[in-house]
């Protein structure tokens, strides 16, 4: 089932989400929610979706960077972003740690702020300790674009939007980004 994605200004996007218990994670309701979140993310389309974005203050997110997204990008852009395919997975109650001081700055957007983009500095490498959809502990080590996706989604679980971290003078409509930034690459 496709769920409604709430937009900036909706209070749940600015609240810290609550952790889920093992029993809650394994419940039928949460399992159905996870499947609906994947369907909603794919329909949007996006590479991640956090529960607050569908109005639920839960520390739960789904992530997937599909091959069709990557096939639309020039190989040099993929290499610059260290972007590779990311299999679909779930993170629950994540704890994020930056690994090293190295950062990367790229434009990013958000399904809860459609039509806009800005440059956001993010850690280049991260470690995430979380649980999966089976309430099993998982450790994720990620670099590049995957690390960026994880940071963006985990920010949502803490009431933070990319506009809180952006370089404010880079804030742009998608249309102007395509017109002025993407056009400069030619």
Catalytic residue numbers, as ranges: 153
Distance CA 136, CA 94 (A): 12
Q: Give the pair of three-digit tokens for residue 179.
A: 């017109």
Question: What distance in Å separates the CA atoms of residue 126 and residue 153, rounded to the nearest whole number?
Answer: 13
Place of tokens 């990013």: 108
Query: Which are the contacts of 3, defined by CB distance < 8 A and separation ≥ 6?
Result: 36, 37, 39, 40, 54
């Amino acid at each position: 089932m496709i769920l409604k994605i709430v937009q900036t200004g909706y209070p749940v996007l600015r609240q810290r989400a609550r952790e889920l218990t093992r029993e809650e994670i394994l419940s039928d309701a949460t399992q159905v929610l996870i499947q609906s979140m994947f369907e909603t993310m794919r329909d949007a389309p996006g590479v991640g979706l956090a529960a607050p974005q569908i109005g639920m203050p839960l520390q739960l997110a789904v992530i997937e960077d599909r091959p069709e997204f990557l096939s639309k990008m020039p190989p040099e852009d993929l290499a610059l972003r260290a972007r590779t395919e990311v299999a679909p997975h779930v993170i629950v109650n994540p704890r994020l740690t930056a690994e090293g001081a190295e950062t990367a700055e790229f434009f990013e957007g958000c399904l809860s702020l459609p039509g806009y983009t800005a440059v956001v500095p993010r850690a280049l490498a991260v470690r995430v300790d979380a649980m999966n959809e089976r309430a099993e502990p998982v450790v994720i080590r990620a670099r590049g674009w995957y690390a960026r996706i994880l940071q963006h989604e985990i920010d949502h679980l803490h009431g933070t939007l990319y506009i809180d971290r952006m370089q404010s003078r880079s804030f742009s409509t998608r249309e102007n980004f395509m017109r002025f930034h993407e056009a400069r690459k030619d």
